[in-house]
Amino acid sequence: PADPKGKGKQSPRATAMIVIGMAGSGKTTFMQRVNSYLHERNQPPYVLNLDPAVMHLPFDANIDIRDTVDYPEVMKQYNLGPNGGIMTALNLFTTKFDQVLSHVEKRANDVDYVLLDTPGQIEIFTWSASGSIITDALASALPTVVVYIIDTPRTTAPATFMSNMLYACSILYKTRLPFLVVFNKTDVQSHQFALEWMRDFEQFQDALLERRQTHGDEDGPAYQDSLMNSMSLVLDEFYKHLRAVGVSAMTGEGMDELFDAVQEARQEYEREY
């Protein structure tokens, strides 16, 4: 077993997966699928729900932010709208995260996976102090991997693909943790095109040109294409170190590959962190 920090300590058995995704990417369905997949393999995970606004969770959570923070009450008491309410609820929860972490640490050698579900509004977790505090605390306690869910059918246009990848890149640099991109909904749209664009930026540039020829100025002024061409070169470096898998949270396709990639990412954590 690895000794990542050279303190003579063994890494705990559990791998934490922080699941992040834009609204509509299928994060909830993905969490549900991962949960049932692990139960079927007799590896029930330890689950944390950090979304205070979720009405119905289609899986059991061991720790649920809704048990300690009353989101509608927070909105009322602080006179906040929906997003301010979620942010404040998360801040309040974070003040108690040391207690949460001690529960997680107690179970870290009994389970293989700790799953962390984040609020549906992605930036509330990725661009808040609370999100960073929780991520850093978790990653200092056990091997942690960031799992970024992408809505594959909605990312087939080159400009959308690039925006999504730049966002993924920004999360990688913010968390600095092993990172896994999950192309979801492969039952509707194969992720092969994305793997090809990531492997060879010239293929991405060809797709951009083709799109311009078929859609004309619909995608904005042509100079933006040259900006995207340059950015595709920058992203090429990001792609080289990136793990990407395709899954269908709906059908369960790709789950074995997903967990192989999570284990590889865990090894990266043990080597690098």
- List contacts with ligand GTP (CB under 6 A): 21, 23-29, 120, 184-185, 187-188, 248-250
The C-alpha angle 132, 242, 261, rounded to 5 degrees, equals 90
- Output phi, psi for 74, to 5 deg: -60, -45
Smallest gap, in angstroms, from Cβ of residue 161 to ligand GTP? 18
Smallest gap, in angstroms, from Cβ of residue 29 to ligand GTP? 3
Strand segments, DSSP code E, in the chain are 15-21, 46-49, 63-64, 113-117, 144-151, 179-184, 243-246
Smallest gap, in angstroms, from Cβ of residue 123 to ligand GTP? 12
- Output phi, psi for 62, to 5 deg: -75, -35
Residue pair 139/273 in contact (Cβ under 8 Å)? The answer is yes
Residue pair 254/246 in contact (Cβ under 8 Å)? The answer is yes
Closer residue to ligand GTP in complex, CB, 245/249: 249
Closer residue to ligand GTP in complex, CB, 28/155: 28
Segment (H or E) for 246 = strand 243-246
Closer residue to ligand GTP in complex, CB, 23/234: 23
Closer residue to ligand GTP in complex, CB, 46/183: 183
* Count of helices and strands (H, E) across the chain: 12, 7
The C-alpha angle 256, 258, 259, rounded to 5 degrees, equals 70
Residue 216 DSSP label = G
Smallest gap, in angstroms, from Cβ of residue 120 to ligand GTP? 3
Closer residue to ligand GTP in complex, CB, 49/94: 49
Closer residue to ligand GTP in complex, CB, 130/248: 248
Residue pair 19/30 in contact (Cβ under 8 Å)? The answer is yes
Smallest gap, in angstroms, from Cβ of residue 49 to ligand GTP? 10
Smallest gap, in angstroms, from Cβ of residue 25 to ligand GTP? 4
CA nearest neighbour of 59 among 27, 35, 25: 35
User: Residue 239 is encoded by which pair of tokens?
Assistant: 């792609």
Closer residue to ligand GTP in complex, CB, 24/82: 24
Smallest gap, in angstroms, from Cβ of residue 124 to ligand GTP? 11
